[in-house]
Structure 1
Amino acid sequence: MKQPIGIILAGGQATRMGGGDKGLLRLGDTTIIDHVIARLDPQVDHIALNANGDPSRFDLGLPVIADTIDGFAGPLSGVLAGLDYAASRDATHIVTAAADTPFFPCDLVPMLLLAAEESATGMALAASPSGRQPTFGLWPVALRDDLRTALEGGLRKVVQWTSRHDARMAEFPDDTAFFNVNTPDDLAAAQGML
């Protein structure tokens, strides 16, 4: 398998943060999304950003791809956009990471690839002691039409769809690696974690 394409999921509505793009908030000397890029870039072929609205607000030098399902369909819609993007580049898999989770493991992709070897479909999700981390996953491009059909049929739960396709878990021992910034208090905590 070729290295997967990295897709940063930034299509959320950030309602608990008051709206806007959480990834563009300052964290230390840079932004949250800059931390995400720095962790993901060495692990993947290249990176694209899944975000809706005006792409010019992101000055990151990355392709920006919008959801292909109308309305706010949640993270699976971003996964589908990433799978469509990857299919146009003859890639076999994507890896997703959330734009608001700056401390995720530096061995995310190798661990997902290892877990996916046990899956009949080549799908894996990250998991930590607190449970599944469904925005961090390895997704096979071959399942994109199935995902599109599921989303068009109203499915929104990551676990429901991935359970149908033999997704395996890549276990990570540290919950703090998947700390995500949802509120102003979370942002203050992330500053302290730096």
Structure 2
Amino acid sequence: MTAFNEVRASSPATVTSGSEAEITALLEARLNHMVEEDPFWRQLVLCVARGKESVSYDGSHLEKRPDLSIFLSGAHRGFPLVVEAKIIDGANSKTEALYCDNGLRRFVDGEYAWGNREAYMIAYVRDGSSIDGKLTPFLSLAMGQTPPKYLVEGLPSAAGPGGVDLAWSQHGRSFLYDSSSTSPSEPGPISVWHLWLTKECNHE
């Protein structure tokens, strides 16, 4: 949140009308700058990379490019914290459906974060949408399908302090790990954290 607030303050036009890639590039630069200047952040994070190539769970896709990969100091270098970003702007057909189809689904299908139990999605919100007002009802409908679309096991649960639109949802995964044993192993569910950021100032 701190990094995005600084991006918004320094580049308001980009946050308001720029592309997803432009905003994410600014966010990457700011997060890496924090590694240099913030001792606490430096203890947690080695570096942040935008569009870092990764492979899908079975190696069939070698050039998957999540929007941000956060390499944590205490974690395996091959399994960074993966962040996927999307713009939410209903007037331009960038809706919660697109957010889920082109973002959330990638974690369910094993394209991204297949070796992790947690991942992040960021929404750059331009139309006043909120997790509770848009994402939760959408996933509730998906959860009622058979089988549940996006393999929803738990609807978004608010986790942020006042003024921060942050929640996490839980999802099954639609793949099995290849293994040398006779029976492939299941990856287990993944918790996806959703952080929805607005073009107006958020209070931490």
Q: TM-score, normalised by structure 2?
A: 0.30
Greater RCO (CA < 8 Å, at least 6 residues apart): 1
Q: Which of structures 1 and 2 has the bigger CA Rg?
A: 2
Structure having the higher helix fraction is 1
